[in-house]
Structure 1
């Protein structure tokens, strides 16, 4: 189950085996508290074990940075943008120097990363909808529009054909890179192996994504399913998954393991990936994810995409997003 979809499942725990009946409480302490507790229903039933989290970072093309006179090592690049305003300024300098666009898009690489760094997101900690009144959401939205207006964005929507091919062609120099995104870069731009770096996200902290394993209530052999989950999502197995596939563990007990901290991916040869992603997750402030978080986020992204595509003005975008959200969630 995807993390953003989890709340809808948690609202219906009767559809799943309560993992506490199989011994889940005995291993709960192995996992990030906020990630684990998100799968606990109001009646106390626990329905899922977190398999990974999406610590955030920025992937960048070292060859394009070098051509623009920018540093290329991870530490120096991270130091270029302690804040999002600094990120935009670096982008403006890159565009001025090269005549090329800096970031793939403003909707996902800026808005959706910034909105996952907030203290509270679309819901209050008590579960009340606040997407239209939370100043942190408006600030993230305005930041994305500011970045687009600055001319640094290639305006290539994530997972579009242009975005897929643009990675390899050098149509942009940086992109959002939650830990799971590194696999997309490898598959979409295989010829650029060794030309990518990974740097800290502006403001350093945040999480985008994550998944859970659950057992349906009708499972014929829930005990065997539980033994599989417990073994394959143990701290030791999650560490192995990270090294082999890049899935960032939800088990903080391995965050200090040299196998994670010293890991280097040949595709991103100089990037201390384990250090960057675990630091991002450890520094974040967990926020409440509600049953409509997914649709709400989609409509905010759609509004930014509409501005990038020229079908909506920046002045109209916020209200249009709010109107579409009300329709989407039936308010």
Structure 2
């Protein structure tokens, strides 16, 4: 069974479109902005302000048009889905987060970027990132922006105190997989009591899942989230909790930052953006005490965004010139400086704006580690229903960590809830 666009939008927007009386009705004005400007919606911190400022004066390559940017602080996706459902006052260009696949059932609301010449640029971008913007029906609705390659962050000083390997290459060699990483974590905890290697059970699960070549569904719509590749990641997360190597600092609480601030979290497998959100934000006085090395279990990716051109766009060719200019290798390197977005263009990785030593990480060129991860990550298919599937899994993993359910019962309950939700959505 397939999901209609109207039904999917109602689900994705939490019923907001229906509540606003917009679904299924057109408007007298389909797009936003004047005839000489392209309207763009994105969220705070998703683009480089200097570059946007240039385009607001005149779009490079289309200098008769200028950009009109709207940054939406909260409820971005709901507002976008509501606008699309109503087919009225829709922006010309929109940003999409790493849940880009949730827009696939709505693909006819966007231009196929290949019709505008995107295929000629494919070689400039990471292949797996490029594929994420292409629907199973082979329509390219989303153009690559940033990525979220993963690596292992660790406290150099604590590792030194524990008497284990301390240099990035040596740590990577000592913990090439999750089993050896767990053993390393146990050794550090024995030498430095209280040390943990994850903030919570979900952190491990997400990082390990991010290394897989398949996730919850196939392109053909088959649910595979109950198969061994997911169960093994689940059991790995549970094992780390049972070994006492999780801080049990649940997402959305102040404890997440606290375990970084107080030095309890001595190693963490996460994405490049965690450097900013984690130690640089929560523990600025640890400057010089962190290092980065390849993650146990291999390369992975968590996060990254896209740009799309809606079918209501008043000048698709100008819009395409804008997004390809904004996401060129040169400008993605600029966006790495602010707001710290890791490029999807490999040519950026040798740009001197990215390769400078990072004093917070003891002068290490951490970009080299994340660049290698981005290049090695094999990619996986993300379905429109991944968020729907992920929610009960995360909730049940928390139940395991806090001790309210056994691992087997929690897994069973998660699968029951997933089946219920996917059936309700018409996905199975």
Q: TM-score of the superposition, structure 2-length normalised?
A: 0.71
Say yes or no: does 1:102 pair with 2:196: yes
**Structure 1 318/47 Cα, relative in aligned 2: closer, same or farther at 3 Å?**
same
1:105-184 counterparts in 2 under 5 A? 105-124=199-218, 126-133=220-227, 135-184=228-277
Say yes or no: does 1:201 pair with 2:288: no
Structure 2 match to 1:281? 374
Deviation at 1:70, TM superposition (A): 2.8
Distance 2:136 2:416 in 1: 31
Deviation at 1:27, TM superposition (A): 1.7
**Structure 1 43/103 Cα, relative in aligned 2: closer, same or farther at 3 Å?**
closer
Deviation at 1:210, TM superposition (A): 1.3
Structure of larger gyration radius? 2
Instruction: Give the root-mean-square deviation of aligned CA atoms.
Output: 2.3
The answer as to whether partners of 1:40 and 1:47 remain within 8 angstroms in 2 is: yes
Deviations 1:17-59 (A, max 9, x none): 3333433233222112222122223555422111111111121
Structure 2 match to 1:305? 398
The answer as to whether partners of 2:175 and 2:184 remain within 8 angstroms in 1 is: yes
Structure 1 match to 2:330? 236
Deviation at 1:258, TM superposition (A): 5.8
Deviation at 1:63, TM superposition (A): 2.5
Deviation at 1:314, TM superposition (A): 2.2
Distance 1:175 1:105 in 2: 8
The answer as to whether partners of 2:124 and 2:347 remain within 8 angstroms in 1 is: yes
Q: TM-score of the superposition, structure 1-length normalised?
A: 0.90
- Extract unaligned runs of 5+ from structure 1: none
1:183-194 counterparts in 2 under 5 A? 183-185=276-278, 186-194=280-288
Structure 2 match to 1:85? 179
**Structure 1 313/101 Cα, relative in aligned 2: closer, same or farther at 3 Å?**
farther
- Residues paired across the two proteins, number: 329
SS in 1 for 2:171: helix
Deviation at 1:281, TM superposition (A): 2.4
Say yes or no: does 1:291 pair with 2:396: no
- Extract unaligned runs of 5+ from structure 2: 1-94
